Amino acid sequence: MSDTPTSLDRRNFLKTAMLAGAAAGWLETPANAGVLSSKGKSVMGLKAPPLEKVRVGIVGLGMRGSGAVGRHLLLEGVEIVALCDIRPDKVAAAQKRLTAKGRAPAKEFGATPEDYKRMCELENIDLIYNCTPWYLHTPISVFAMRAGKHAVTEVPAATSLEECWDLVNTAEKTQKHCMMLENCCYGENELLALNLCRLGMPGRVAPR
């Protein structure tokens, strides 16, 4: 996208800019002071060391999770090393897809609802792919980052403001990537808002 919007995009550009300004005004009002604040080193633009092979653990092997297994099998440089689900049949089905592609069987987890924690603590995992029910998205992503893993999660990444800041603060403390798997984040308006934030145009978040 060019720096100067075309005439066709001008209305959306101005609308987005005005909304950003309004949001900045809300954030810096006395009533909201202390509601939002960052506690660590920003992860905006975080670059992790390159990996020759990305070793993935997938938790939640239902509809979205089973689809994720299939997509990962199409990616070069990606290895599924662990599978986690409290339903043994889902784990078995995912294992079958791995072996059908000539891949080594993944380590299995799911004996208890919190067995994902043992998976996150494996030393040979680089990234946790989270396809669980909504209420588990933040807890699992936070635990994964604290265990030294990058985390990606299906939408929504969080269901409350507190959970949003838990993700931000954990990512900043651990310097691990935490990404919500939502492709509309890369639309024109969304990327415009991101670049406005990177330029500091919306203003500063109110300190505690």
pLDDT at position 44: 85
Mean pLDDT in residue range 111-123: 98
What confidence tens digit (pLDDT) does each residue in 143-178 have? Answer: 999 999 999 999 999 999 999 999 999 999 999 999
Query: Is residue 157 within 8 Å of 184, Cβ to Cβ?
Result: no
Q: Is the pLDDT of residue 12 over 60?
A: no
In order of their start, the domains of the chain are 54-183 (3.40.50.720)
Query: Region 38-65: what's the mean pLDDT?
Result: 92
pLDDT exceeds 60 at position 4: no
Q: Look at residue 24 and tell me whether its pLDDT is greater than 80.
A: no
pLDDT of residue 183: 80
Q: Beta 127-130 vs 107-109: how paired, if at all?
A: unpaired
pLDDT the model gives residue 155: 95
Average pLDDT for residues 184-199, to the nearest whole number?
Answer: 88
pLDDT at 200 over 80: yes
* Averaged confidence pLDDT in the chain: 85
Q: For 12, what's the count of Cα atoms within 13 Å in the CB-facing half-sphere?
A: 13
- CA-to-CA separations, 38 to 44, 157, 179, 191, 203, in angstroms, rounded: 12, 18, 17, 22, 14
79/11: higher pLDDT:
79
Neighbouring-strand partners of residue 121? none
The answer to whether residue 119 scores a pLDDT higher than 90 is yes
* pLDDT over 70 at 194, yes or no: yes
pLDDT band at 9 (very low <50, low <70, confident <90, very high): low
CB atoms within 10 A of CB 199: 8
